[in-house]
């Protein structure tokens, strides 16, 4: 059994939902040595989030982004407004989507479904660098 942990800082991205599966795999190459294990992803931010979703049709992330804007609109009368009108809606969206994922690893790869990908949801209009903690636990391939 072994543990490995890495920090991954993503480049700033515009508001939207961005596929980061390749970024994750590239940041923790030890995945290739795992026979059975888990990869835990934790996003260290309160105005962005993570989701596991459809990774082929670009309409899916666009639709998710529009739906999130309807659920947490900037026009709602929030009390927390000191960081701009998009900040509190970003906190709401982050709470709804979540900031962590745990993905099984087997035979040296993430055991994602055929149509699944890992996405960063950037909820702020102003771009930010986002940092994830990647924690891999498992048994080495035999």
Q: Which residues in the chain show pLDDT less than 70?
A: none
Question: Per CATH, which fold does 2-140 belong to?
Answer: Jelly Rolls (2.60.120)
The rounded distance, in Å, linking the Cα atoms of 58 and 74 is 24
In the numeric block, the tokens 């049709």 are attached to 57
The pLDDT value given to residue 142: 86
Residues contacting 77, CB < 8 A, separation 6+ = none
pTM: 0.95
The domain segmentation of the chain, as residue ranges, is 2-140
Question: What's the pLDDT tens digit per position in 44-76?
Answer: 999 999 999 999 999 999 999 999 999 999 999
Please tell me whether residue 33 adopts helix, strand or coil conformation. Answer: helix
Q: Where are the beta strands (DSSP E) in 11-140?
A: 16-19, 34-43, 48-54, 100-106, 109-110, 116-122, 130-140
């Amino acid at each position: 059994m072994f543990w490995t942990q890495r920090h991954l800082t993503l480049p700033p991205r515009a508001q939207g939902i961005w596929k980061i599966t390749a970024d994750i795999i590239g940041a923790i190459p030890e995945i290739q040595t795992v026979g059975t294990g888990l990869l835990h992803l934790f996003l260290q931010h309160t105005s962005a989030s993570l989701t596991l979703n459809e990774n082929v049709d670009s309409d899916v992330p666009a639709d998710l982004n529009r739906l999130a804007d309807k659920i947490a609109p900037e026009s709602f009368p929030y009390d927390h407004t000191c960081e701009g009108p998009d900040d509190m809606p970003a906190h709401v969206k982050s709470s709804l989507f979540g900031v962590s994922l745990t993905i099984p690893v087997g035979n040296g790869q993430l055991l994602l479904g055929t149509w699944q990908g890992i996405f960063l949801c950037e909820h702020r209009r102003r771009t930010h660098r986002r940092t994830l903690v990647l924690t891999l636990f498992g048994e080495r391939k035999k």
